[in-house]
């Protein structure tokens, strides 16, 4: 099982992600710098969280136009697994690899706290180790996590099971539509998730609820 972590200036949860992938898979991921036009042969590509290009212009907008993102899109088209967490999710949206947009939190404030997520679709490559409807703990840390899309797209992604995690009622930290916390593309190989499962994978984190996400995807590709 081989993985790659994309690095862009301003991303800052790359270290967390590299540690999580190494701990779960037993292998260090390769890192790929923004100017690379080719990504090595891997089973999983991860866009970690942070503030690529300072979130200037619009979260993820500048990063989505870097050379490496063309390579990510090519790999995704070939069925390689891709995860974008937080700013990585925003970059996937700006790249057009996932539908919708992430707006400023309804509170207009950055929020870092633990929330509860419900597995909305346990039948994906990223969630198959969870039970259907399972409620898990997971931290969030973001300023722009308020997911939104037009009603037609919303109907489609809801209808086709593309919503994979929802904030449990009363814990939605950002006002996202239908409490959406994570979605997959139609092909089921590209995941965008706002919370940070990589920060809840070992006892030092106070829980391991995020670990099963990585076990799901790493297990399948292994």
Partner 1 sequence: MTIPNTIRITEELVAAHGLKPDEYQRILDLIGREPTFTELGIFSAMWNEHCSYKSSKKWLRTLPTSGPRVIQGPGENAGVVDIGDGQAVVFKMESHNHPSYIEPYQGAATGVGGILRDVFTMGARPIAAMNALRFGAPEHEKTRHLVAGVVAGIGGYGNSFGVPTVGGEVNFDARYNGNCLVNAFAAGLARTDAIFYSKAEGVGLPVVYLGAKTGRDGVGGATMASAEFDADIDEKRPTVQVGDPFTEKCLLEACLELMETGAVIAIQDMGAAGLTCSAVEMGAKGNLGIELDLDKVPVREERMTAYEMMLSESQERMLMVLRPEKEHQAEAIFRKWGLDFAIVGKTTDDRRFRVLHQGEEVANLPIRELGDEAPEYDRPWVAPETRPALDPAGLPPTDIADALLKLLDSPDLSSRRWVWEQYDTLILGNSLQIPGGDAGVVRVEDHPTKALAFSSDVTPRYCEADPYEGGKQAVAECWRNLTATGAEPLAATDNLNFGNPERPDIMGQFVRAIEGVGEACRVLGFPIVSGNVSLYNETLGEPIPPTPTIAGVGLIPDWSYMARIAFPEEGQAVLLAGAPENWGEHLGQSAYLREVHGKAEGTSPPVDLAHEKRVGDFVRGLIRAGKVTAAHDCSDGGLAVALAEMSVAGGMGAHIDSPPGNPSTAFFGEDQGRYVLTCKVDDVDELLDAARAADLSLFTIGTTGGSELKLGDARAISVTEIEEAHEGWFPHFMQD
Q: Which residues are catalytic?
A: 86, 196, 198
Question: How far apart are alpha carbons 178 and 147 in whole angstroms?
Answer: 9
- Work out whether 20 is an interface residue with partner 1 (CB under 8 A): yes
Query: In which region does residue 206 sit, left (phi positive, over 0), alpha (psi from -120 to 50) or beta (all else)?
Result: left
Nearest CA to 68 out of 42, 98, 40 is that of 40
Determine which residue in the list 2, 16, 122, 134 makes contact with partner 1, applying CB under 8 A.
16
Q: Which is nearer to partner 1, 84 or 173 (CB)?
A: 173
Q: For residue 177, give the 3-state DSSP assignment.
A: helix
Q: Which residues contact 200 (CB under 8 A, 6 or more apart)?
A: 137, 138, 139, 206, 207, 208, 209, 210, 211
Pattern 121-160, partner 1, x by CB under 8 A:
------------------x-x-x-----------------
Q: Which stretch binds partner 1 (CB under 8 A): 11-19, 37-45, 76-84, 147-155?
A: 11-19
- Work out whether 28 is an interface residue with partner 1 (CB under 8 A): no
Residue appearing with tokens 């346990």: 122
Give kind and range of the element (H or E) at residue 128: none
Interface with partner 1: number of residues (CB under 8 A):
28
Here the tokens at position 186 are 């139609």
Determine which residue in the list 3, 5, 47, 53 makes contact with partner 1, applying CB under 8 A.
53
Residues that bind partner 1 (CB under 8 A): 9-10, 12-13, 15-16, 19-20, 50-51, 53-56, 107, 109-113, 139, 141, 143, 196, 198-199, 204-205
């Amino acid at each position: 099982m081989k993985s790659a972590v994309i690095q862009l200036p301003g991303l800052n949860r790359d270290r967390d992600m590299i540690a999580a992938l190494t701990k779960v898979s037993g292998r260090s991921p390769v890192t790929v710098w923004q100017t690379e036009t080719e990504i090595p042969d891997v089973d999983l590509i991860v866009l970690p969280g942070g503030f690529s290009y300072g979130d200037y212009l619009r979260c993820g907008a500048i990063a989505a136009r870097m050379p490496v993102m063309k390579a990510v899109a090519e790999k995704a088209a070939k069925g390689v697994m891709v995860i974008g967490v937080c700013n990585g999710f925003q970059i996937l949206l700006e790249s057009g690899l996932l539908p919708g947009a992430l707006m400023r939190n309804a509170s207009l404030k950055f929020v870092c706290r633990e929330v509860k997520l419900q597995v909305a679709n346990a039948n994906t490559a990223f969630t198959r180790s969870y039970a259907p409807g399972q409620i898990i703990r997971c931290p969030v840390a973001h300023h722009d996590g308020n997911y939104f899309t037009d009603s037609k797209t919303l109907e489609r992604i809801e209808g086709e099971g593309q919503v994979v995690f929802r904030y449990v009622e009363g814990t939605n930290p950002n006002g996202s539509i239908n409490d959406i916390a994570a979605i997959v593309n139609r092909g089921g190989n590209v995941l965008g998730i706002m919370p940070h499962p990589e920060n809840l994978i070992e006892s030092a984190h106070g829980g391991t609820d995020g670990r099963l996400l990585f076990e799901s995807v790493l297990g399948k590709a292994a």
